[in-house]
Amino acid sequence: MNCAKLENMEARYMSLEDKLSDPSVIADQEAWRRFSKEHAEMMDIIDTFRRWKKINSQCGEAREILNDRSQEELHGLAAEELKEKEKIRDHLEQEIHLLLIPRDPNDKKNVILEIRAGAGGDEAALFVSDLLRMYLRFAEKKGWRTEIAGSSETALGGYKEVTCTIDGLNAYSVLKYESGVHRVQRVPETESSGRIHTSTVTVAVLPEAEEVEVTIRPEDLEIDTYRASGAGGQYVNKTESAIRIVHRPTGLTVTCQDEKSQLKNKEKAMKILRARLYDKARRESHDRVAEERREQVGTGDRSERIRTYNFPQGRVTDHRIGLTLYQLEDFLNGNMDEMVNALMEADQIRKIKKGEAVV
């Protein structure tokens, strides 16, 4: 482990502490916020490094006793202590490696979740409904706030597509691995012969973009209003509260009709449009580094088949990490933590092996 690099980081951390208590910096709120953010980002690393230094020093003291023949009566205790301390030290080293992995700048952001039916007709649309329910329950367990922003229902109770917002701490860092093609294998309720059908659903997890991150010129927008409607004529509005926004330069189209207020629908539609434009620019940037993109565990390639939900066998399999759980019903009820944690760990291991966190 490169202690010199970490010592330099600690020196910078202490320098930031001095700056944050400097009256001239406090008076400059922009500078104070900048230094405060940098200080907060380094806090976990420096705290772990300081604990590592203390434990490493104790390991050295134990070795000195073991090498001192005049203290042979303490050798047994010293050997036992050294073994225990080295185990703690090695664990702290692993923590430092993980903390030094460059963080995705979007990890702390809220999420725009889009789920669309793929191959499979009505069965795919019904599975969109199942996945929406799964993500909403998962978000509820996390204490996140969710809201449906737009949907296109089918007569059988499914969705051709549905968009929802998920607001919560580190929501994107947890959900970003869900982007991709989800495959379901089951016997549809409408299938009289009992044959297993395979259908697909596409999930896109977009980080919510701030206005300062995406420039949208008013003259580039084509905004239409129309009367909202649901499946079978339900929820038909007598006023034109639904909004359709077309971004002319890219051709991206967003519709929103879930609110009775035209203004609220427009606000939601603009939020979704910003997220899609930000995601488009981000994916184009990623495509310029295609090798790294292929090595990723999977955080955005919507053409990638990432997971299979097999109902006859009661299993869910993630193809990126080869993990199969025989708890399908429990998983679809929002108990996704084991899978999510395994995906995050696999991504961290990949980055360590690639040398992104070598110290």
| Segment 130-153, tens digit of pLDDT | 999 999 999 999 999 999 988 889
* Residue pLDDT, tens place only, 31-51: 998 899 889 888 989 999 999
* 357 part of a folded domain: no
Predicted pLDDT of residue 292: 41
Q: Same domain for 146 and 293? A: yes
Length of the chain: 359
Mean predicted lDDT score pLDDT of the chain: 85
H/E segment holding residue 213: none
pLDDT at 51: 95
**Is 90 exceeded by the pLDDT of residue 280?**
no
In this structure, the answer to whether residues 244 and 280 fall within a common structural domain is: yes
Span 55-73, average pLDDT: 91
Report the pLDDT averaged over residues 57-70.
91
Residue listed under structure tokens 């629908």: 265
Q: Are residues 128 and 39 in the same domain?
A: no
What pTM did the predictor assign? 0.66
Residue 235: the pLDDT is: 45
pLDDT recorded at residue 239? 58
For 151-203, the pLDDT digits (tens) are 889 888 899 999 999 999 889 999 999 999 999 999 887 666 678 899 999 99
User: Same domain, yes or no, for 188 and 330?
Assistant: yes
Q: What is the pLDDT of residue 330?
A: 96
Q: How many domains does the chain have?
A: 2
pLDDT at 291: 47
CATH code of 256's domain: 3.30.70.1660
54 and 169 inside one domain: no
Instruction: Please give the average per-residue pLDDT across 216-244, as a whole number.
Output: 71
The per-residue pLDDT for 355 is 63
User: Reading across the β-sheet that carries 180-186, which strands appear in turn?
Assistant: 145-153, 159-167, 111-117, 197-207, 180-186, 305-310, 315-318, 323-325
Please check whether residues 159 and 260 belong to one and the same domain.
yes
Whether 89 and 132 map to the same domain: the answer is no
Q: Are residues 80 and 198 in the same domain?
A: no
353 or 272, which is more confident: 272
**pLDDT, tens digit, for every residue of 316-348?**
999 999 999 999 999 999 999 999 999 988 888
* Residue range(s) defining the domain that contains residue 64: 3-99
Q: Both 53 and 180 in a single domain?
A: no
Question: Which stretches of 191-261 are DSSP H helices?
Answer: none
120: left (phi over 0), alpha (psi -120 to 50) or beta: left
**pLDDT-based confidence at 243, cuts 50/70/90?**
confident
Are 65 and 75 in contact by the 8 Å Cβ rule? The answer is: yes
Q: Looking at the structure, do residues 287 and 197 belong to the same domain, yes or no?
A: yes
Which residues, in sequence order, are CB contacts of 190 under 8 Å at separation 6+? 122, 123
Whether residue 26 is found in the same domain as residue 149: no
Asked whether residue 195 is assigned to any structural domain, the reply reads yes
Q: How far apart are CA 347 and CA 177, in angstroms?
A: 10
**Is it the case that residue 231 has pLDDT exceeding 70?**
no
